[in-house]
Structure 1
């Protein structure tokens, strides 16, 4: 059963429509790699509506929900916000369209199929753990998308065939620099989540959390290896893309794997 209030459902519909509206000018002007103000402003409005959905449900139920669709929706919101902030330093139309469409789908699914599953975040330390865990996953989602854009640009450059968006991208060195800056922020955020989890989660190594702990640690170590490889050996290009996607898949398995099985496959309510 959907848990959203009528107000939250209405806000979710408006948010999804706003994301679609923000995507339209990007698709209509695919020859430009730099988005104009319109998709950025509409996207910011959509993000505000999306945030209002989360806040509305938070107040209605007394806390955040950890169910699969709600977790995915909150992650999508974080990705949108970080992507919009990134546009101030490097405007990339190739990032905005998939981020907006994904967010529209996520907020709609959460409103229609989400159910409330409370997160126990009563202490400040536990709340820090929850926030950094979700933020870290959102940052790694964006890094994975960035890596795919980098891979497409590199492949197009080698073959001499680039689409309108990719041909307008910044230099590969600039893309790589932004990717590794994002990966460093991701690694630090996940590191804080791991430390606060060890300090404030009593049952971190029990069976229902063990796989999350293991996958998160392995993903974090993978990111550390990639950052060290970049610093000492100059790793870049396909190596950076490959390791970024591996870290993303590992964290996705830990962060959302069990939620998907319980909430979607087994239809737990």
Structure 2
């Protein structure tokens, strides 16, 4: 089966799962977590072959934009489904599933970089920790948006709708910081392995990625330190989380987009 039909089918399944969960948040339909997970898994089954196929085509030292986008989306969906079995994070599917599907659709039309060398164990560790860090922090971003909506509703004394559908505010905040801790640990591993195993970072156009990744690391570290020592929470935590995720998004995909799409360099 060709890539585009698979990508379209995955997108439809992801949107269907997200739509049901959105209607659940709006209290228009009953909660059906098994249905949402099932649709997500079916979408993932269409998604994963495309990721595997791209790794077979584009075997550059580090994955290109198309491979990175498709693999990051698949890992984020997989992690969300698995974590939702233990933590009440399935509501994040409302934003995460459609974004993963949209990224899949867009990335199927992008070129893959030509082969420049095999993946060494050190480079593989760097790539794996990078995509896991991005996936975990993407879930944290979706969680932060929901937390922000919950905060705003409570500030305006709206106690129905989304406030009733979401877990308690303290639970939402605890899960957010647990996700940030996990994401920061993986981001630390990614940055450290990059310095250890990736050579000629400026020659490989990785300087911007490194600087922005370090900036994101600082943002998340400041947030966690301030939460622990200064009691940062609520909308301040939401803004810092989203700010860090935007910087990380630019680090992982911004320079690749400019190089591979705008400047057409493999």
TM-score range, shorter chain: 0.7 to 0.9
Please state how far the C-alpha of 1:109 moved relative to its aligned partner: 1.2
| 1:8 matched to 2:20 | no
Please state how far the C-alpha of 1:102 moved relative to its aligned partner: 1.2
Listed as ranges, the gaps of 5+ residues in structure 1 are 1-5
Aligned to 2:45: 48
How many correspondences in the alignment? 263
Aligned to 1:116: 112
The 1:207–1:22 alpha-carbon spacing in structure 2 relative to 1, beyond 3 Å, is: closer
Aligned to 1:148: 145
**1: CA distance, partners of 2:151 / 2:56:** 46
The 1:27–1:148 alpha-carbon spacing in structure 2 relative to 1, beyond 3 Å, is: closer
The 1:207–1:108 alpha-carbon spacing in structure 2 relative to 1, beyond 3 Å, is: closer
**2: CA distance, partners of 1:35 / 1:17:** 18
Listed as ranges, the gaps of 5+ residues in structure 2 are none
Aligned to 1:177: 174
Please state how far the C-alpha of 1:46 moved relative to its aligned partner: 0.9
Task: Write out aligned runs for 1:240-259 (5 A).
Answer: 240-259=237-256
The 1:268–1:260 alpha-carbon spacing in structure 2 relative to 1, beyond 3 Å, is: same
**1: CA distance, partners of 2:160 / 2:78:** 26
| 1:221 matched to 2:255 | no
The 1:75–1:185 alpha-carbon spacing in structure 2 relative to 1, beyond 3 Å, is: same
Q: Deviations over 1:86-110 (max 9, x none)?
A: 2112335531122221122111112
Task: Write out aligned runs for 1:197-236 (5 A).
Answer: 197-206=194-203, 208-236=205-233
Aligned to 2:12: 17
**2: CA distance, partners of 1:225 / 1:121:** 37
Please state how far the C-alpha of 1:138 moved relative to its aligned partner: 1.8
- Determine if contact 2:259/2:265 at 8 Å carries over to the other structure: yes
**2: CA distance, partners of 1:78 / 1:162:** 34
Q: Deviations over 1:180-234 (max 9, x none)?
A: 1100111100111111111111113558222211111121122112111122222
- Determine if contact 2:80/2:90 at 8 Å carries over to the other structure: no
Q: Deviations over 1:133-160 (max 9, x none)?
A: 1221222222111111111100111112
**2: CA distance, partners of 1:61 / 1:79:** 21
Task: Write out aligned runs for 1:182-201 (5 A).
Answer: 182-201=179-198
TM-score (norm 2): 0.88
Q: Deviations over 1:41-99 (max 9, x none)?
A: 11112112211211123234557973334322222212211211221123355311222
**1: CA distance, partners of 2:20 / 2:224:** 36
Aligned to 1:3: none
- Determine if contact 1:57/1:64 at 8 Å carries over to the other structure: no
TM-score (norm 1): 0.87
